[in-house]
C-alpha cells in the first residue's frame, strides 16, 4: 500500500511537532517544512516564527521523528503581502489582523504550492480546528475540541480547494494532552511556551514598529466628540484602538473612550461609556467556507475578534462579497480591520473584514 504524502508546516513549537508525530504514527509519509520569514533589517533573528532557536527545535523534532526537513525562503513574499497589509490597514484607520493574510497568502497559498510541488497530497498545520466532510461532500471546519485554543477564527479565509488538501491533527485534543503526547514521543518542544505576539513584531509594541517603518502615517490631528466639538489633539490615529480609555491626553470630568477613527480627516472621535457599542456593522471580502453565499439572512453567533465571545446575530448576505451583521446586543469593541466570523454551533460558516 502506497503511503499518502503530507507536508507539515513546522514552527519549532509543540503543536506542529505533535501534528507531524501523529501523522507519522497514522502511517503517512511525512515531510517537515518551515518558512523563513521577513524581519526588520538588523533584527533578522527576531521573527518568532523562524528564530534560530525555533529552526533548531524543528530540525531536532524532524530528526527524532526521522522525517525530511526543508526550509523555504518566504521573506520577500511575506514582506510584500503580510507586512504591507498590516501597514496599509493602519493607514486606512483600521486595526488589521495580519494573521488572516498570512493564512490566506503564505501558509495556504505559498507553502501549500510548495507542498503540492513536492508531490504531497496534503499539508498539515498545528492549528486547533477540526476538519470533516459534510453530507453534501463539502469540507467543513469545526471548532477545536479545546475551545480555549480554537483557531477557526483565523482560518475563515480558506477555500474548498485549499481545504481539500488540509489536515489539522491537533484539533481533536485538548492542549494539555498535546503536551503529554509530545513528551511521550520524546520531543524537545513538549514544554515550550506558546507565543501570542505578531511574529514580525518580535514581542515589541506595534507602535514602535510603525514609527520606524511608516512614520508618515503618525500625523497629529484633532480629537472630537461625536457632535464635532474639538477637545484635544491626537498623535497619530494608528496609536489608538477602539474602546481605549487611557492615554488620550484629554482633560474631562468623565472617562472618555475611543469610538472611531476617521482616516479621511485624520480625526479621532471619542465619547462616554454609554456611547460605545455597535448594534450593526458591514463586512467586506466575505469568504463562505462552502464556496457559496446563503440566499437568505440567517441566524449565527458572530465573533468580532480572535479573543472575543460570540454574540447572537442576524447575518444578511449583500451583493458582491459583503454582508451585514445585526447584533442582538451591542458589541463594544467591533473594530474596522478585524474579522467578523460566523458560527452555528460548532460549525464555522465563514467571515469577512469589518468595515464599520
Q: Which residues are catalytic?
A: 102, 199
C-alpha span between 203 and 195 (Å, rounded) = 9
Alpha carbon distance, N-terminus to C-terminus of the chain = 54
Q: Retrieve residue 114's grid coordinates.
A: 510548495
Q: Could you tell me which of 288, 337, 276 has the C-alpha nearest to residue 315?
A: 288
Question: In degrees, to the nearest 5, what angle opens at C-alpha 209 toward C-alphas 206 and 210?
Answer: 90
According to DSSP, the residues that pair with 233 across neighbouring strands are 222
Write out the DSSP string of 212-241. HH-GGG---EEEEETT--EEEEES-GGG--
In 27-54, which positions are buried (b, 16+ CB within 10 angstroms) versus exposed (e)? ebbbbbbbbbbbbbeeeeebbbbbbeeb
C-alpha span between 63 and 12 (Å, rounded) = 13
Amino acid at each position: 500500500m502506497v503511503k499518502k504524502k503530507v507536508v507539515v508546516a513546522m514552527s519549532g513549537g509543540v503543536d506542529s511537532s505533535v501534528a507531524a508525530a501523529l501523522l507519522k504514527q497514522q502511517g503517512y509519509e511525512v515531510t517537515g517544512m518551515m518558512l523563513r520569514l521577513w524581519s526588520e533589517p538588523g533584527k533578522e533573528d527576531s521573527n518568532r516564527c523562524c528564530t534560530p532557536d525555533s529552526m533548531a527545535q524543528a530540525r531536532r523534532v524532524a530528526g527524532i521523528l526521522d522525517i525530511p526537513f526543508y526550509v523555504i525562503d518566504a521573506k520577500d513574499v511575506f514582506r510584500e503581502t503580510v507586512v504591507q497589509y498590516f501597514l496599509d490597514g493602519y493607514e486606512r484607520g483600521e486595526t488589521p489582523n495580519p494573521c488572516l493574510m498570512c493564512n490566506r497568502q503564505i501558509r495556504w497559498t505559498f507553502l501549500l504550492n510548495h507542498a503540492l510541488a513536492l508531490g504531497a497530497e496534503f499539508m498539515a498545520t498545528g492549528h486547533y480546528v477540526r476538519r470533516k466532510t459534510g453530507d453534501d461532500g463539502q469540507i467543513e471546519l469545526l471548532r477545536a475540541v479545546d475551545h480555549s485554543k480554537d483557531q477557526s477564527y483565523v482560518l475563515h479565509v480558506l477555500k474548498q480547494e485549499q481545504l481539500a488538501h488540509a489536515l489539522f491533527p491537533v484539533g481533536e485534543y485538548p492542549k494539555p494532552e498535546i503536551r503529554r503526547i509530545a513528551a511521550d514521543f520524546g520531543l524537545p518542544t513538549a514544554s515550550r511556551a506558546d507565543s501570542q505576539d505578531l511574529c514580525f513584531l518580535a514581542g515589541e509594541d506595534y507602535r514602535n514598529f510603525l514609527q520606524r517603518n511608516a512614520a508618515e502615517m503618525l500625523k497629529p490631528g484633532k480629537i472630537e466628540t461625536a457632535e464635532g466639538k474639538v477637545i484635544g489633539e491626537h498623535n497619530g490615529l494608528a496609536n489608538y484602538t477602539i474602546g481605549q480609555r487611557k492615554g488620550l491626553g484629554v482633560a474631562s470630568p468623565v472617562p472618555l473612550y475611543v469610538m472611531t477613527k476617521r482616516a479621511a480627516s485624520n480625526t479621532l472621535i471619542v465619547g462616554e461609556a454609554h456611547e460605545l457599542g455597535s448594534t450593526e456593522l458591514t463586512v467586506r471580502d466575505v469568504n463562505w467556507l462552502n464556496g457559496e453565499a446563503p440566499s437568505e439572512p440567517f441566524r449565527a453567533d458572530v465573533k468580532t475578534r480572535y479573543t472575543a465571545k460570540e454574540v447572537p446575530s442576524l447575518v444578511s448576505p449583500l451583493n458582491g462579497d459583503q454582508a451585514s451583521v445585526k447584533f442582538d446586543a451591542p458589541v463594544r469593541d467591533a473594530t474596522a480591520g478585524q474579522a467578523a466570523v460566523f458560527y452555528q454551533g460548532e460549525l464555522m460558516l465563514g467571515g469577512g473584514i469589518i468595515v464599520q
